[in-house]
Amino acid sequence: MDSPQRFDGYGVLITGAARGIGEATARRLTAEGARVLVADLDEELAGEVAKTLPGAAAVRCDVGDRVAVEAVVAYAVETFGRLDVLVNNAASCTRDAPSFEDQAEETWHRDVDITLAGAMRCARAALPHLTASGRGAIVNIGSVNGVQAFGNHAYSAAKAGLASFTRTLAAHAAPRGVRVNQIDPGTIRTRAWAGRERELEALAERVYPLGRVGEPEDVAAAVAFLASRDASWITGTTLRVDGGLLAHNTGFALAMEPVEDEVGQGG
């Protein structure tokens, strides 16, 4: 007899699910039995993804619009009869101006609003339904940018704020039986890196201790764990899925290599 899948009977809402990490997560959770609402600003692409996933549905979702978010959550509950998991994946990241003083205030507000406040809007609308499910979980997709300087001022500030929000919401939601956790990915091979294979190869060789950049499926696997009952005693935590990036200062190690060689030869 086949063992039961971890998400049999689950209703799942994933924002930004038409591509990249969101799409990979939709595929992973569907493969484990979930019915997934593929929510994305690009409704056409979301529909194409949903057509390939058994029991899935698609909807246009602008996480910057409170009314739209509430409608999407209501649609998920209507479609699946319940909502058990919310994955806050939608984000906005605008390239920095060459000088910080030239940073447009409008782009700052957009990145923070979509990346941080968007997660808040989705969580606020979903929380009553996640409470009612008896096994509710929220997984926020953060970034190593929220921990260490890698550029993108507004996006990075928003991701750092998301980590704080994850902790405070976890404390609030715990008595209601809802767990809230976050994943901080490193460099993931998504469309943002299209045509930049040489850069990815350099990062894999020089920066990442595990010798490669991440794939969307690496993050999806972590989401599946934190969303499942396998993580039933885990809340308010951030799981780094970063190939060892933040554990190892590669630049420091490379700078020290000649010193180590010199000491060895002199001994």
- Cα 50 to Cα 76: distance, rounded to the nearest angstrom: 13
Which of the following is catalytic: 51, 75, 159, 208? Answer: 159
Nearest to 185 by CA among 234, 223, 228: 223
**In terms of Cα–Cα distance, which of 192, 267, 179, 260 is closest to 225?**
179
206: left (phi over 0), alpha (psi -120 to 50) or beta: alpha
Q: Which of 49, 208, 204, 69 is nearest to 127 (CA)?
A: 69
Whole-number Å distance between alpha carbons of 68 and 65: 5
Q: Do residues 184 and 242 touch, judged by C-beta distance below 8 A?
A: yes
Read off the DSSP letter of residue 28: H
51 is catalytic: no
How far is residue 15's CA from residue 23's CA, in Å, rounded to a whole number?
Answer: 9
Tell me the Cα Rg of the chain.
20
Residues in contact with 40: Cβ distance below 8 Å, sequence separation at least 6, in sequence order: 15, 16, 17, 18, 19, 22, 46, 58, 60, 61, 90
Q: Which of 10, 75, 155, 208 is catalytic?
A: 155
Catalytically annotated residues = 155, 159
